[in-house]
Amino acid sequence: MRSGELIKISHKGLFIKTWEGEISQGISGAQIFSFSVLDEEIVAKLQEYQGKYVRVKYTERMGSIFWLGDTKYFINDIEKETSPHYKD
């Protein structure tokens, strides 16, 4: 599980489109957690929570496969949380 501010969710790729996102885990944005998403329901939640503080559950795979995503981290669940740094 990881928590942080959801800073980006995008549909990337030239021929094969995948959903990719980033969570900032620090105040300065120095620590970024990049992830991929396969489930369209999770994508909808991510789009709704963009710019908010969230907690994600993910599965780590041995490596990435280009038609599934750019990273080896795949989000299984997301929930909105209260930020320890600032009020929403």
Q: What angle do CA 80, 85, 88 make, to 5 degrees?
A: 45
Looking at residue 88, its pLDDT comes to 52
Around Cβ 7, how many Cβ atoms within 10 Å? Answer: 14
Q: Go through the domains of the chain in sequence order and give each one's CATH number.
A: 2-80 (2.40.50)
For residue 49, the model assigns a pLDDT of 96
Q: Consecutive sets of 10 residues in the chain, 88 residues long: mean pLDDT of each?
A: 93 89 81 92 95 94 73 93 74
pTM (predicted TM-score): 0.83
